[in-house]
Structure 1
Amino acid sequence: MSEPVGLYRDHAVVLRTYKLGEADRIVVLMTEHHGAVRAVAKGVRRTKSRFGARMEPPTHVAVQLYRGRSDLDTVAQVETVDAFRAVRGDLLALGRALTMVEAVDQVARDRPTDPQLYRMLVGALRTLETSDSPLVTAGFLWKLLALEGVAPVLDRCAVCGATERLVAFDPVEGGVVCRDDRRGQPLSPGALDLLRDVLGGRLGAALAAPETPATGEVDRLAVRATEHHLERRLRSVGVLDGT
């Protein structure tokens, strides 16, 4: 059943924008109560636009939108809730933020509404504003996979069920694999412990862990597992890799 025509308000994170005509942009928003919304921000590319940078990823906004009879809504009013200035001032942090919003942009297309996904994204962006742990983004991606129903198998070999000598992670099999069934990416015991913390309700402890080769493993594996699930590369990861 289609939504009624008229004005509505919501909170949202700007996921993506692209040009429309001479001065407008189409913005993709992850809203709290209306799922992923595509809307036109009129005149936003003009120097004197009253919307300006408020309509750029990964800004968190309070927005009023008009729903007409076309596929695109129209941005009527917008106020900044979180500008994430510290994130924008750090290229690495911005790359991590854009990786999260890019992943949400992909999964939200199939979700008419998902307040939990919205809250997860806002919470992760706010954490990224104050934490330089590489596991902020990795933790978000792993939890996003869990929300999608594809949480990795971590307590046993995803191939044979063995509970010992778990030495690698294979996105195709959907989890860790033992020495006899080794494939995918090598996984150290420290990285496996961190993964279990992230997905076992101990994310705070994982974020407090010092940066080590194990945190790098978990970070890289999160990206690979997410890309496997999405069946596409995450373009923002080039910033994370320094490319």
Structure 2
Amino acid sequence: MSRTGFAAKSYRTRGIILRTQKLGEADRIITLLSPERGVIRAAAKGVRRTSSKMGATLEPFMEVDAQIVEGKSLHTIIQAQLRNPYGHALVADYAAYTAAHAMVETAERLTDSEAESIAPQYRLLHGAIAALARGGHEPGTVLDSYLLRALATAGWAPSFTHCVRCGAVGPHQAINIPLGGVVCHDCRPAGSLSPSPQTVELLAALLAGDWETVDASDIASRTQAGNIVTSYLQWHLERVVKSLKLVERR
């Protein structure tokens, strides 16, 4: 019972752990993304003790089922069961680990309180984290594909096949970040980028999930595409995603 004499409300949700931070001597603050409730910040009591049953469960990138008690500013996790231990595979691969950090930081920034936008973002993050954990694709390309799709879901869908000004069918040789994609020769404003045709093709494949094309791309195209995706993300977020600086591309 609370001090007011009323029992605190509790709820159950699944979620992906975005990050953790120390609280006191033995506790942690857990930030997780729920498909129903968005970003949740909750205290987990005693999880830093070696005897804690939840300590290994409430780690970044894990998908969990959690029982949570509501609080005014900080909720409390009273029970957590592991659904998918993605973090175990990711911590063993530095490139995948850094890509996952950039994903969860972006997901936290993009997820707002509007219920209709939460579930699609959750599904995208879940699929991307799972793909990183499985391996099979270069982590940087999984990250770039996720970032483009997450931005599209948030309402900022780029175009890499049609001119974003006049709609002319490509291929086009220039990309304008503020306009949101490729521009034809007639519509090209000053300051547009001139990536290689292979890079433009790769960007379209990353957005569409054409992994046959993505996996066949060369390192130079991946590097150039990654820089464009990063610029596009930061243009719309209007903030730097710090984790992107640590991403290892190969």
Normalising by the residue count of structure 2, what TM-score does the alignment of the two structures yield?
Answer: 0.83
Q: Please tell me whether residue 16 in structure 1 is matched to residue 19 in structure 2.
A: yes
1:13-65 per-position Cα deviation (integer Å, ceiling 9, x unaligned): 11122232332222111112222111111122333332223222111112111
1:141 is matched with 147
Moved more, 183-192 or 145-154: 183-192
The residue that corresponds to 2:35 in the other structure is: 32
Matches within 5 A, 1:56-205: 56-68=59-71, 70-84=72-86, 85-112=88-115, 114-129=118-133, 130-133=135-138, 134-158=140-164, 163=169, 166-178=172-184, 180-199=188-207, 201-205=208-212
Q: Which residue of 2 aligns with 1:229?
A: 236
Alpha-carbon distance between aligned partners in 1 of 2:113 and 2:37, rounded to the nearest angstrom: 12
Q: Which amino acid aligns with 1:82?
A: N
Count the aligned residue pairs: 237
Q: Distance in 1 between matches of 2:18 and 2:114?
A: 15
Q: SS of 1:55's equivalent?
A: coil
Moved more, 12-21 or 233-242: 233-242
1:109-128 CA deviation, whole Å, 9 max, x = no partner? 44446221111111111111
Is 1:27–1:40's contact at 8 Å kept on the other side of the alignment? yes
1:220 matched to 2:220? no
Q: Give the secondary-structure state (helix, strand or coil) at the position aligned to 2:13.
A: strand
Contact 1:36–1:112 (8 Å) recurs in 2: no
In structure 1, what is the Cα distance between the partners aligned to 2:123 and 2:28? 25
Question: Given the two structures, how large is their TM-score scaled by the length of structure 1?
Answer: 0.86
User: Structure 1: which 5+ residue stretches go unaligned?
Assistant: none
Secondary structure at the aligned position of 1:99 is classed as helix
Aligned to 1:79, the other structure's residue is in SS state: strand
- Runs of 4+ in structure 1 deviating by more than 4 angstroms, as ranges, are 159-165
Q: Tell me how far 1:75 sits from its aligned partner.
A: 0.5
| Corresponding residue number in structure 1 for 2:3 | none
CA distance in 1 between counterparts of 2:112 and 2:231 reads: 20
Amino acid at match of 1:131: G
Q: Which of the pair has more CA radius of gyration?
A: 2
